Amino acid sequence: MSATHVTHLRCEYLVDPLGIDERAPRLSWALASDRRGARQLAYRVRVASTPEQLARGGADRWDSGRVTSDQTTHVVYRGAPLGARDACHWDVEVWDETGAAVRSAPARWSMGLLSPGDWTARWIAADPEIVQRDPEAIASTLQDCGTPAVFRKNFAVSAGVRRATLYASARGVFELTLGGRRVGEDLFAPEWTDYDKRIHFRTYDVTPLVRPGANTLGATLGDGWWSGFVGWQEHRGRYGSLENSLLVQLEVELDTGERLLVGTDASWLCATGPILSSDFMMGEVFDARRVARDWLPVREVAPPNAALVAQRSEPVRVTETLAPVSRHELRPGVFVYDLGQNISGFVRLRLRGVPAGTHLTLRHAERLNPDGTLYVENLRRAKATDVYIAAGAPEESYQPHFTFHGFQYVELSGFPGTPPDDLVTGCVVHSATPPAGEFECSHADVNRLWRNGVWSQRDNFLSVPTDCPQRDERLGWMGDAQVFLRTATCNMDVAAFFTKWMIDVEDAQTTEGIFPDIAPRLREDIHWTGVGDLGGAAGWADAGVIVPWTIWRVYGDVRIVERHWRAMTAWLDYLERTNPGGLRTRDLHNNYGDWLCIPTDTSFGTHSPMKNFLATAYWADDAAKMATMARALGREEDATRFRAMFERVRGAFQREFLREDGRLTVETQTAYLLALAFDLLPANVRGRAAERLVANIKSLDWHLSTGFIGISHLNPTLTRNGHADVAYRLLVQDTFPSWLYPIKHGATTIWERWNGWTHQDGFFNPAMNSFNHYSLGSVGEWLFRHVAGIELDPEVPGFRRFRLQPFVGRELTFARARYRTMHGEIASEWHREGETLTWRFQVPPNTGARVFIPSVDGPPVVSDGLEIAGRADGFAFAEAEPGRYTVHSTMRLPEC
């Protein structure tokens, strides 16, 4: 019997966050033990202002006392009101079902600056003279990426340092240094928000970097999303300004008890430095010979008319480095490296003894042309080119500062001689969301498919969930995000990431209640190019409801639902106002439909019966989700209203789209999938509808034809409707179009379109052909939910209770998954020999699962102590308390 441990202490989903601005933060922990039945009977949270107090058992901020409760997640802090800068050291004591009391290791959080009055620093910008007088510097214009400014402030520290905290924000993106050492490892801070509404500040503990005596605080300020190129826009300065500005406040507590405050103001100095230009899309030019000199005073500028808020999600970081798997010399002096993996990030260069002034040029691409050159046409206007000009030092190391690229291949030119093996390293850059799930099975290509989905997630979850990391787009497309979200939760812990992004979504909502198609929204009123009106599209804007819904269901988070309730209601009000008849056919805006389905229709703003079908189905599902969430929130009136809305829309849907013989008037795979997944059909026709769906798939010789919208529903819906065999058949299909076709042709990420590259036609039209778009990879959730069988309980959110129900297919002989929930790790692993099954699974402490063991009537189930409560549809079911189990059964493989 193993003892209980209390692990994984988190505050607002984050481990030891600094500088939060949530005044009633939620605390979570998990129990670890493989003892059967392990659970929590009571807890006691202590929060103290110093670690010493906490160690002594003091809890001057909050002592919850012993609370008889099994709650381990989202325990709301109810102590003394928290003020700016407050340090909070906390732990939790748990009484388990054996009566033993166990105490966790300490954790901490701190409060940031909470109101404008807490900031004494002033916003500063560089004097434009630093660029004008510098013959190599580039002046920033609507088309040209300008030379970033560096900033500096010297200050003296008269005594030993007890604690030093640095708060920083910017219009632009910063890199900070103290005494020449980089502050933190975060990239591209402060990250992307709707800068007209809110701007992040970041908090760093810089105690080890501040020394008694002379110190220098430095900053470099890049353009980022604020003033650089964003999306397919041809003009920079999307927020109405090309001027970057900075706000830094360093607060030092000295041993003497004195406090020292160093804030940006007119006494700071600025100059140009080694970066000549740097832009997300275009790349960076860095001349290592240049040093900042002839410093000029900065200018104080007006503060933004937007709230300064703490970033509440994991920062963007380099999370992994990759050595190239090959290099070949394309022509003399031009080398092409293959990283073996399509990533988002950049290359780190390591040079030894390269002559000063040597220009090294790095170009990036996802694929190669048949002649071995880079295929860059699909990057559109993104130049994705970095240039490093060597200083001539014995050792030099360089990585770009304010740019990233989507690439697998790098072309290097300008290197004198043969490059040494360690010259080029690929750096993987994205929001550092913690890994949550792992999947593996007996089919190598399916494993690659799962990994490709994880890679596309990593490559695209960069501050916001983007569509793609390589071309001039990289926007927070809502449709893509919502279809992939459930898969994303299986791969990584994305709770904090989506909590932050949902704020961007609400910030982008119009006063009429229209949710956007992309978040953060781009202002379309300045120098707009191309498709506009980016809001209100069915399947895209509906993410405004689907995101809070999913975060609530997966993480048990009620607060995200409460916080966005008004916004979600406004959206449903808008749909109802616009479409009084119950069919969603009006104001469909860009109306993307089942984007990139086969045959493809990529027209904008057009109408078709399928598009009306899709829009109405999403409305009905929004209403159904709202009704369920309202009930969970105790909003009974809302629950009644939205249930009635669901019934009304469902009725209109059936009248319009359901024939008497049970067939739909629109006969695409996605139409059947949405009708079944969203419960839009009368019970007596569901079976027939599922059969029509299967007939459609069969008529395409067992191929899929769904686009972004249908795809996430395809395998789960087939499985839930008795056709797991068909789902498996689609899973392992490897001829075009299928999930495995790209894998047969070297894909290391999910492609934007089924026909991104085909035997027959080669590359599709580069105007829209990304090789790193996660939407079509949303089959990942099915691998966890139905192959490994780790599924949410229909009634209980957050995996506090869950289901374990693997659907075993003849295409696999084993599958295993581990999945870290808020409550600890669920594991499921099955092996099949013929029709004899061995299944091992793990139910974390303080949870419970209803398990469904694949089995036929007759031969007994060896159930490892589980009491079989019944049998239905090829499964024996039982209730499992926490613990590890191994069961054996005889099952029947489905026929296809």
Report the phi/psi class of residue 240: left, alpha or beta, with left for phi > 0 and alpha for psi in -120 to 50.
left
Name the residue with tokens 């206007």. 381
How far is 155 from 388, CA to CA, in rounded Å?
Answer: 32
How far is 730 from 362, CA to CA, in rounded Å?
Answer: 40
Does residue 77 bind ligand BGC (CB under 6 A)?
A: no
User: Which one of residues 13, 192, 346, 592 is an interface residue with ligand BGC (CB under 6 A)?
Assistant: 592
Nearer to ligand BGC, 448 or 474 (CB): 474
**Least CB distance to ligand BGC at residue 477 (A):** 4
Residues between 432 and 471 that touch ligand BGC (CB under 6 A):
467-468
Structure tokens at 654: 């059936």
Nearer to ligand BGC, 468 or 851 (CB): 468
Backbone angles phi, psi at 510, to 5 degrees: -80, 170
**Least CB distance to ligand BGC at residue 593 (A):** 9
Per-residue x/- marks for ligand BGC, 749-778, CB under 6 A? -------------------x----x-----
Quick check: 92 and 9 in contact, CB under 8 A?
A: yes
How far is 267 from 517, CA to CA, in rounded Å?
Answer: 44
Among 593, 598, 636, CA closest to 617: 593
What pairing do the DSSP bridges indicate for beta strands 385-389 and 359-365? antiparallel
Binding window for ligand BGC (CB under 6 A); candidates: 72-80, 472-480, 522-530, 687-695: 472-480
Count CB-CB contacts under 10 A for residue 2: 10
Does residue 17 bind ligand BGC (CB under 6 A)?
A: no
Residues between 509 and 548 that touch ligand BGC (CB under 6 A):
none
Nearer to ligand BGC, 484 or 728 (CB): 484
Nearer to ligand BGC, 375 or 484 (CB): 484
Q: What share of the chain is helix, strand, coil (3-state, %, to 5)?
A: 25, 30, 45
Structure tokens at 610: 């399928």
DSSP state of 433: P
**Least CB distance to ligand BGC at residue 775 (A):** 6
What pairing do the DSSP bridges indicate for beta strands 213-222 and 173-178? antiparallel
User: Which one of residues 188, 337, 375, 477 is an interface residue with ligand BGC (CB under 6 A)?
Assistant: 477
Exactly one of 396, 752, 781, 791 is catalytic; name it.
Answer: 752
Determine the size of the site formed for ligand BGC (CB under 6 A): 10
DSSP state of 650: H
**Least CB distance to ligand BGC at residue 751 (A):** 12
DSSP state of 522: P
Does residue 251 bind ligand BGC (CB under 6 A)?
A: no
C-beta nearest to ligand BGC: residue: 467
Instruction: List 763's β-bridge partners, or say none.
Output: 757
User: Which one of residues 480, 504, 638, 656 is an interface residue with ligand BGC (CB under 6 A)?
Assistant: 480
Does residue 781 bind ligand BGC (CB under 6 A)?
A: no
Quick check: 627 and 646 in contact, CB under 8 A?
A: yes
How far is 390 from 757, CA to CA, in rounded Å?
Answer: 38
Residue 143 three-state SS? coil
Residue 553 neighbours by CB under 8 Å, 6+ apart: 792, 797, 798
**Least CB distance to ligand BGC at residue 407 (A):** 17
Nearer to ligand BGC, 472 or 791 (CB): 472
Nearer to ligand BGC, 46 or 773 (CB): 773
Q: Is 752 a catalytic residue?
A: yes
Report the phi/psi class of residue 509: left, alpha or beta, with left for phi > 0 and alpha for psi in -120 to 50.
beta
Q: Which segments of 530-635 does DSSP mark as H helices, in order?
A: 543-555, 559-563, 565-578, 609-633
Nearer to ligand BGC, 308 or 468 (CB): 468
Q: Is 825 a catalytic residue?
A: no
**Least CB distance to ligand BGC at residue 508 (A):** 15
Nearer to ligand BGC, 474 or 641 (CB): 474
Nearer to ligand BGC, 539 or 582 (CB): 539
How far is 572 from 29, CA to CA, in rounded Å?
Answer: 35
**Least CB distance to ligand BGC at residue 781 (A):** 18
Q: Residues 408, 412, 418, CA angle at the centre, nearest 5°?
A: 120
Exactly one of 251, 396, 440, 473 is catalytic; name it.
Answer: 473
Residues between 80 and 119 that touch ligand BGC (CB under 6 A):
none
Binding window for ligand BGC (CB under 6 A); candidates: 21-29, 477-485, 507-515, 724-732: 477-485
Does residue 789 bind ligand BGC (CB under 6 A)?
A: no
Does residue 479 bind ligand BGC (CB under 6 A)?
A: yes
Does residue 473 bind ligand BGC (CB under 6 A)?
A: yes
Q: Which stretches of the chain bind ligand BGC, using CB under 6 A?
A: 467-468, 473, 477, 479-480, 592, 595, 768, 773
The set of catalytic residues is: 473, 752
